[in-house]
Amino acid sequence: MTSLPIERHLLRARDLADRAFADGVDVEAMAAAAGLSRAHFSRAFKRTFGQSPHVYLLTRRLERAASLLRHTDRSVAEVCMAVGLTSVGSFTTTFSRTYAMSPTAYRAAYPPATAYAVVPACVRRLYGRPGHVPVPPASDPARSEKTGPVSRA
């Protein structure tokens, strides 16, 4: 049996990071998923994807945190823990450096989560698929449902 090319191993590690970033996955776990030593994995990951595995994980976590801040009413501490980070202070500093505003200011820049309308799943399915928007039946102005044919005198 031949070994898989290194890129396949790196994709497996990146998929692990995308899937389990909130579960406390770290560079060691990613290297283990790729079957490489941490040092070799870090060099190969950076050469292939253009950023270190640590930066990649942090980016995924911050993107998810930004989404949670926009769309939920969770506190900043809850958001921090939900994305797999443990220090609220470090989270706030890193978030502020990345998004040029604090998590609280970022949330204030968007409408509150309660302002979003709840759309039933059946409506989302019906109107959410491109090319599947139902067309209402053509109305007949010469006919009314309640009165029958319209008489014009």
Give residue 108's identity as a one-letter amino acid code. Answer: A
Beta strands 143-144 and 148-149: pairing type? antiparallel
For 93, the token pair is: 């500093």
Query: What is the CA 137 to chain-centroid distance, rounded?
Result: 38
Query: What pLDDT score does 122 carry?
Result: 78
Over residues 69-85, the pLDDT tens digits come to 998 889 999 999 999 99
- How many angstroms separate the CA atoms of 103 and 70, rounded? 10
Domain ranges for the chain: 1-50, 58-127
Q: Higher confidence at residue 99 or residue 7?
A: 99
DSSP three-state, residue 65: helix
- Say if CB 10 and CB 45 are below 8 A apart: yes
CA–CA distance, 53 with 51 (Å, rounded to integer): 7
Range with the lowest mean pLDDT among 31-45, 54-68, 135-149? Answer: 135-149
Residue 107: predicted pLDDT: 93
What integer pLDDT is reported at residue 57 of this predicted model?
93
What backbone phi and psi angles, to 5 degrees, belong to 35? 75, 30
Q: For domain 58-127, is the CATH number 3.40.50.11720?
A: no
pLDDT above 70: residue 86 = yes
Residue 86 CB partners (closer than 8 Å, separation 6+): 80
